[in-house]
Amino acid sequence: MTRPVKSKNKEDILDLAIPLFAQSGYTGVSMRDIASAVGIKAASLYHHFPDKQTLYLQAMARAFEDKAQGFATALTVTGTPEKRLAGFVQIFTTLMCKDPEFRALLQRELLDGDEVRLKKIASEVFREPFVAMEALADELAPGCDAHMVAISIASLILYHLETAPIRRYLPGGKARHNKPEVISRHVTGLLLHGLKGCGK
């Protein structure tokens, strides 16, 4: 006797849609694609979501939820400001290395996201850890523009990962340049001591 296949709930559908949107973007994914990944027909999706927009927005909400908490964890390191920076960079880099889907969705939102969506991501995902980063920046470099410093720290980590597909073809590109230990070590040295410190 065959057991009936368990019905899918909204969360299951969103979890299957997220990697598709990360891979191909909103316009690159059809309702049929999502249905096919879930193992149902496209029409059945409309029992769970009124339209594609809504499905997408809920998938984004789910993909970004709990990220704020992960980032907050990266800022719980204690000790001197230097130690806390090193700890944050290491944990944040490892987190981002493990989550290429999150990175792709963020990149796509930066390109295509409307005001409402970006505002929501800013306040619900990044605001809290960003404020903590600014506070740390102010300790490490008093008088500097804390906003720019916080962005610079994120830049160094995220752009190394974002450029991975093309760095393969640029001189000196090695596989180890994508490892979180290598990136976080480089970034920490650079932040603390400038170019002179990046071999530390």
Least Å distance between CB 97 and DNA?
A: 31
**Two tokens at 154?**
């994120």
Given DNA, its own copies, none, residue 156, with its beta carbon under 5 to 8 Å by kind, binds its own copies
Given DNA, its own copies, none, residue 30, with its beta carbon under 5 to 8 Å by kind, binds DNA
For residues 129 and 77, is the Cβ–Cβ distance under 8 A?
no
For residues 171 and 77, is the Cβ–Cβ distance under 8 A?
no
167 binds its own copies (CB under 8 A): yes
Q: What is the CA radius of gyration of the chain?
A: 20
How crowded is the C-beta side of 115, counted as CA atoms within 13 Å? Answer: 0
Least Å distance between CB 52 and DNA?
A: 4
171 binds its own copies (CB under 8 A): yes
The angle formed by the CA atoms of residues 188, 192 and 173, to the nearest 5 degrees, is: 40
Given DNA, its own copies, none, residue 42, with its beta carbon under 5 to 8 Å by kind, binds DNA
Least Å distance between CB 12 and DNA?
A: 8
How crowded is the C-beta side of 185, counted as CA atoms within 13 Å? Answer: 9
Stretch of 4-12, 33-41, 71-79, 119-127 lying at the interface with its own copies (CB under 8 A): 119-127
- Positions in the binding site for DNA (CB under 7 A): 7-9, 29-33, 35, 39-44, 46-48, 50-53
